[in-house]
């Protein structure tokens, strides 16, 4: 009882779908056990109504399977239509059996056709339609090669089946034309179902799923039982003797097992290319052998007649068509691979081919083999394009390849990286040899190029990097050679070997960019917050979020060491999004703790011209459950000069959401008064240069005073940053300045320290 209760509890803990599937499987198992038991009892002869028991058990079993397949169709919508068709096929077969039982015997020979045949034959088209529906759901789009695989395999199986079954059926069939047609229809339809089934399996591949394999087993049992029945009828023996009835029963048990499997509708991977070619090839060989056997005395072709020969010929022709398409596909693939690795203009290997060669060269570098990478760049190539046109420029590039190749060995790589830049990868080359090669290449390019009647002279700069001397990574050698090339171009020396002292800054810059890219994703950016003091109330009005980079090796880095890198590398959008998310999350945490603070975040030129940025800001505010008035976005005057029209649109969209807009470093630009009249600004942040010199400079004080009056007249808040001492703060207070920010108030602090500092001053209003 405990085991039963435990099983019941486990059953109840399952999902509704799992419970229904288990119930379906239990029903199928009960039906199968009941059918097998009834069949065994009937064969034992212990009762006088064995035939009635077997007939009734068979009908009840198939009727139960109809119910199971209908329940399966209702349980899963993925292949509902297919399983409804399977249920109809089983129902059609059941009707044929019931008509046959009521008619008093199975029709054989001249007794055909009968109404029972109508039901039995209806099983085939409905099953075929169900298989096609399942196949369509699994493979909505199939290539010609895949279809041919299915046709070849299907025709091969059909040929083999027909060779050993159809001939016997034809010999044993007598009576009217209708009787002959009905008798031959069964093996033919069995063959067609096998063609469809095996062709579908060839199309779907090895991941067909349990339902397909159970259906395959069931149809194999069904076809084999039909074949045995037909051969026994042809021989004049009792067709129902032995285990034949159980063969059909096993077929229907397999159909029921297929109905009790979970659907698998995902398209699965097919067999690999070698198996895909071997399978049709093996089928073609088997068919050729069968056709050859037809020329021998009394071969399979003689038994099956022209049908087997036609099927065998069709299989061979399909295999030949498959081989032809495979050859064309392989040739097209090879051509595509060649084009993908070749520069269209010059015919040289392209950038992709270069990086593949560099990846292969890493093994040689690890073994200590010297490898030289030379980057060749044409000087003043843009002038040639601008003055003579792109046609002349393209012709020049086409002539560069043959000239350089004349000075290279057969195993050296010459490729075009892009534009007017070429690369040479030379193996087993010492630094002195690499420099000599670079000089020869440069001298070759300095010889005049001829365009019709015109001659053109160009120059080139060549950068050289040697591995493993400069790096053990071939890909990094390319970067170092590129840096050396720019050094050669700047110094106009023509050829330069990589020098870490001279070029290391560029190298480290590339490394830092990659580290920053990783650091943003890894959460290495942290924020410190500098308070802004309201001089009229003596309370902290808000804070400015200032980003720092917690570098795993170099420690905490200020923004000056990585902001420009992020901007040049296209990382500012990600950086701003990260800073904005952290700042708003911290603002929410402070609010939950009872500290109400506005937070200012600096935005970059990239953000200012991104018309999707306002929507991202609104999303972040909604995510952190903060009103827009809690956020102030700071933009410098210089940012407004790059794309003023778009900047005005973006700022207006931000302001429409309720976000504050602050002009940072105000007074250092060139059009302050012009844009103040049109921009939706809420705050001016006067540059620290005026604030720090104000106590000792009457002119600086005059600028502060006039700016404050301008802000008042425009309804803007004035923030004075750079208040580093008490005298400056007092002077700003005398001028009735709104907010001050600087070291005298507080240095930028981590969020935990800032909260403690605020509470110690008791200057922040509580909610």
In tens, the pLDDT along 200-241 reads: 776 676 667 788 888 888 888 888 887 777 666 655 555 555
Tell whether the model's pLDDT for residue 710 goes beyond 80.
yes
Reduce the DSSP state of residue 427 to 3 states and report it.
Answer: strand
Q: Determine the Cα–Cα distance for residues 118 and 190; give it in Å rounded to an integer.
A: 15
Are 182 and 110 a contacting pair, CB within 8 Å?
Answer: no
Once rounded to an integer, what is the mean pLDDT over residues 690-709?
A: 87
Contact call for residues 516 and 548 (beta carbons, < 8 A)? no
pLDDT in tens, 94-107: 888 888 777 644 55
Contact, 208 vs 268, CB < 8 A? yes
pLDDT given at position 288: 61
Greater confidence (402 vs 164) lies with 402
- Residue whose C-alpha is closest to residue 524's, from 514, 538, 510: 514
Residue 197 confidence (pLDDT) above 80:
no
pLDDT above 50 for 74: yes
Top-confidence residue, 45 or 373: 373
Q: What is the mean pLDDT of the chain?
A: 79
Quote the percentage of the chain above a pLDDT of 70.
71
User: Using 50, 70 and 90 to split pLDDT, how confident is the model at 639?
Assistant: low
And the tokens for 628? 């827009």
Helix (H, G, I), strand (E, B) or coil at 299: coil
C-beta separation of 700 from 690 below 8 A: yes
Q: DSSP letters along 538-577, please?
A: TEEEEEEEEEEEEETTTEEE-GGGTHHHHHHTT-HHHHHH
Of 476 and 327, which is predicted with more confidence? 476
What pLDDT band is residue 564 in, cutting at 50, 70 and 90? confident
pLDDT band for position 296 (cuts 50, 70, 90): very low
pLDDT exceeds cutoff 60 at 298: no
For the chain, the straight-line distance linking the first and the last C-alpha, in angstroms and rounded, comes to 62
**What's the CA dihedral at 510, 515, 516, 519 to 10 degrees?**
170
**The pLDDT of residue 519 is above 90:** yes
Beta bridge partners, 414, equal 424
pLDDT of residue 606: 81
> CA–CA distance from 316 to each of 10, 43, 145, 319 (Å)?
55, 45, 15, 5
> At residue 365, does pLDDT exceed 90?
no
pLDDT at 535 over 60: yes
Confidence at 283, pLDDT banded by 50, 70, 90: low
* Local confidence band at 49 (pLDDT 50, 70, 90 cut-offs): low
pLDDT band at 678 (very low <50, low <70, confident <90, very high): confident
CA distance 730 to 728: 5
**pLDDT band at residue 143 using 50, 70 and 90 as cut-offs:** low
* Residue 241: Cβ within 10 Å count: 9
Architecture, CATH, for domain 351-498: 2-Layer Sandwich (3.30)
Contacting residues for 3 by C-beta, under 8 A, at least 6 apart: none
Cα–Cα distance measured from residue 711 to residue 421, given in angstroms and rounded to the nearest whole number: 53
Task: Identify the top-confidence range among 148-152, 155-159, 256-260, 296-300.
Answer: 256-260
- Mean pLDDT in residue range 236-250: 66
Pick from 461, 437, 441: nearest CA to 379: 461
- Lowest mean pLDDT segment, chosen from 202-206, 315-319, 570-574: 202-206
Measured CA to CA, the distance from residue 574 to residue 581 in angstroms comes to 11
Look at residue 767 in the predicted model and tell me its pLDDT. 43
Annotate 179-207 with DSSP letters as a single string. Answer: HHHHHHHHHHHHHHHHHHHHHHHHHH-TT
**Nearest in space to 377 (alpha carbons), one of 346, 341, 420, 334:** 420
Output the pLDDT for position 266: 53
Domain 532-546+573-762: give its CATH superfamily. EAL domain (3.20.20.450)
pLDDT recorded at residue 300: 47
pLDDT above 80 (res 153): no
* Percentage with pLDDT > 90 across the chain: 25
For 603-638, what is each residue's pLDDT tens digit? 988 888 888 899 999 999 999 999 999 999 998 866
Half-sphere exposure of 126 (CA within 13 A, CB side): 18
Number of H helices, E strands in the chain: 29, 16
Task: Return the minimum-mean-pLDDT range out of 366-380, 497-511, 717-731.
Answer: 497-511
- Cα-based distances in Å from 638 to 566, 626, 707, 708: 18, 30, 18, 21
pLDDT (average), residues 41-64:
67
681 Ramachandran zone, left/alpha/beta (phi>0; psi -120 to 50) = beta
pLDDT at 225: 80
Q: pLDDT confidence of 275, banded at 50, 70, 90?
A: very low
pLDDT at 624 (0 to 100): 95
519 or 188, greater pLDDT: 519
Burial of 607 (0-12, 13-18, 19+ CB in 10 A): buried
- E-strand stretches of 347-420: 371-379, 413-418
Contact between 715 and 748 under an 8 Å Cβ cutoff? The reply is: no
Q: Does the pLDDT value for residue 434 go beyond 90?
A: yes
CA distance 664 to 687: 7
In 10 A of CB 297, how many CB atoms?
6
Q: From CA 581, how far away is CA 578, in angstroms rounded?
A: 5
DSSP 426: E
What are the tokens at 316? 């061979």
User: Residue 544 in contact with residue 741, Cβ under 8 Å?
Assistant: yes
What angle, rounded to 10 degrees, do the helices at 306-340 and 144-172 form?
Answer: 170
Question: How is residue 690 written in tokens?
Answer: 């005026």
- Residue by residue, DSSP assigns 301-321 as HHHHTHHHHHHHHHHHHHHHH
- Average pLDDT in the 564-590 region? 91
Domain range list for the chain: 1-327, 351-498, 532-546+573-762
pLDDT for the residue 661: 92
Average the pLDDT over each of 28-42, 275-289, 418-432 and give the range with the smallest value. 275-289
Across the range 408-416, mean pLDDT stands at 92
* pLDDT (0 to 100) of residue 164: 56
Complete DSSP assignment for 669-713:
SS-HHHHHTTS---EEEE-HHHHHTGGG-HHHHHHHHHHHHHHHH
Inform me whether the pLDDT recorded for 274 exceeds 50. Answer: no
Whether a cis peptide bond, with omega within 30° of 0, leads into 759 is: no
Contact 57, 38 (CB under 8 A): yes
Which tokens in the block code for residue 600? Answer: 């200012």
- What size, in residues, is the chain? 767
Which among 72, 70, 111 has a CA at the least distance from the CA of 88? 70
Structure tokens of 258?
């297929």
Q: Give the 3-state secondary structure of residue 741.
A: strand
Q: Which of 559, 558, 609, 604 is nearest to 577 (CA)?
A: 604
Using CA atoms, how far apart are residues 86 and 70, in angstroms rounded to an integer?
Answer: 9
Rounded to two decimals, the pTM is 0.45
Give residue 536's pLDDT.
Answer: 87
The pLDDT value recorded for residue 329 is 62
CA dihedral 91, 193, 71, 212 (to 10 degrees): 160
Q: How confident is the model at residue 301 (pLDDT cuts 50, 70, 90)?
A: very low
For residue 177, the model assigns a pLDDT of: 52
- Compute the distance between CA of residue 471 and CA of residue 478 in angstroms, rounded to an integer: 10
């Amino acid at each position: 009882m405990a085991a039963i209760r435990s099983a019941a509890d486990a059953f109840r803990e399952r999902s509704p779908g799992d419970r229904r599937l288990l119930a379906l499987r239990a029903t199928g198992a009960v039906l199968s056990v009941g059918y097998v038991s009834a069949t065994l009892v009937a064969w034992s002869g212990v009762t006088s109504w064995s035939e009635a028991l077997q007939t009734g058990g068979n009908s009840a079993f198939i009727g139960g399977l109809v119910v199971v397949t209908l329940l399966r169709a209702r349980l899963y919508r993925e292949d509902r239509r297919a399983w409804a068709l399977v249920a109809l096929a089983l129902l059609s077969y059941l009707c044929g059996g019931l008509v046959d039982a009521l008619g008093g015997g199975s029709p054989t020979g001249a007794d055909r056709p009968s109404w029972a045949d109508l039901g039995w034959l209806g099983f085939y088209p409905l099953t075929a339609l169900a298989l096609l529906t399942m196949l369509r759901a699994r493979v909505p789009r199939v290539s010609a090669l895949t279809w041919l695989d299915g046709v070849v395999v299907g025709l091969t199986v059909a040929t083999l089946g027909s060779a050993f079954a159809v001939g016997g059926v034809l010999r044993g069939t007598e009576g009217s034309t209708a009787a002959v047609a009905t008798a031959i229809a069964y093996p033919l339809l069995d063959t067609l179902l096998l063609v469809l089934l095996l062709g579908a399996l060839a199309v779907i591949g090895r991941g067909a799923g349990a339902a397909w394999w159970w259906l395959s087993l069931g149809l194999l049992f069904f076809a084999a039982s039909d074949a045995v029945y037909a051969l026994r009828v042809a021989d004049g023996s009792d067709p129902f003797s032995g285990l034949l009835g159980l063969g059909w029963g096993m077929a229907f048990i397999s159909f029921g097992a297929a109905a009790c499997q979970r659907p698998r509708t995902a398209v699965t991977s097919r067999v690999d290319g070698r198996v895909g070619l071997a399978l049709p090839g093996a089928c073609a060989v088997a068919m050729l052998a069968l056709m050859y056997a037809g020329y021998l005395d009394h071969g399979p072709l003689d038994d099956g007649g022209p049908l087997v020969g036609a099927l065998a010929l069709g299989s061979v022709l399909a295999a030949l068509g498959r081989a032809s398409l495979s050859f064309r596909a392989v040739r097209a693939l090879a051509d595509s691979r060649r084009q993908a690795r070749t520069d269209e203009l010059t015919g040289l290997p392209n950038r992709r081919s270069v990086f593949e060669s560099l990846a292969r060269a890493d093994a040689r570098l690890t073994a200590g083999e010297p490898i030289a990478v030379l980057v060749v760049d044409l000087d003043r190539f843009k002038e040639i394009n601008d003055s003579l046109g792109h046609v002349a420029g393209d012709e020049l590039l086409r002539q560069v390849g043959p000239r350089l190749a004349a000075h290279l060995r057969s195993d050296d790589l010459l490729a075009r990286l892009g534009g007017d830049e070429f690369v040479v990868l030379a193996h087993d080359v010492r630094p002195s040899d690499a420099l000599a090669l670079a000089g020869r290449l440069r001298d070759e390019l300095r010889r005049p190029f001829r365009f019709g009647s015109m001659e053109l002279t160009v120059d080139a700069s060549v950068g050289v990097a040697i591995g493993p001397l400069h790096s053990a990574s071939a890909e990094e050698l390319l970067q170092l050679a590129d840096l050396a090339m720019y050094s050669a171009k700047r110094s106009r020396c023509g050829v330069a070997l990589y020098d870490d002292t001279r070029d290391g800054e560029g190298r480290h810059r590339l490394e830092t960019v990659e580290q920053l890219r990783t650091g943003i994703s890894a959460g290495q950016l942290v924020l410190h917050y500098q308070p802004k003091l309201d001089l009229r109330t003596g309370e902290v009005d808000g804070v400015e979020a200032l980003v720092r980079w917690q570098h795993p090796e170099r420690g905490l880095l200020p923004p000056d060491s990585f902001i420009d890198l992020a901007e040049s590398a296209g990382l500012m959008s990600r950086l701003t999004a990260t800073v904005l998310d952290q700042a708003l999350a911290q603002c929410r945490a402070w609010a939950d703790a009872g500290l109400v603070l506005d937070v200012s975040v600096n935005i970059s030129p990239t953000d200012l011209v991104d018309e999707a940025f306002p929507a991202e800001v609104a999303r972040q505010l909604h995510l952190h459950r903060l009103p827009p008035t809690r956020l102030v976005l700071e933009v410098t005057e210089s940012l407004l000069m790059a794309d003023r029209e778009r900047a005005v649109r973006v700022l207006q969209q931000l302001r429409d959401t309720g976000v504050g807009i602050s002009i940072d470093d105000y007074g250092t630009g060139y059009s302050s008064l012009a844009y103040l009249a049109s921009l939706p600004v809420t705050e001016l942040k006067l540059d620290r240069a005026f604030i720090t010199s104000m106590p000792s400079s009457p002119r600086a004080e005059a600028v502060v005073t006039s700016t404050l009056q301008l802000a008042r007249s425009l309804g803007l808040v004035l923030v004075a940053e750079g208040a580093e001492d008490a005298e400056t703060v007092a002077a700003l207070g005398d001028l009735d300045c709104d907010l001050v920010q600087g070291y005298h108030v507080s240095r930028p602090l981590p969020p935990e320290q800032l909260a403690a500092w605020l509470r110690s001053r008791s200057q922040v209003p509580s909610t």
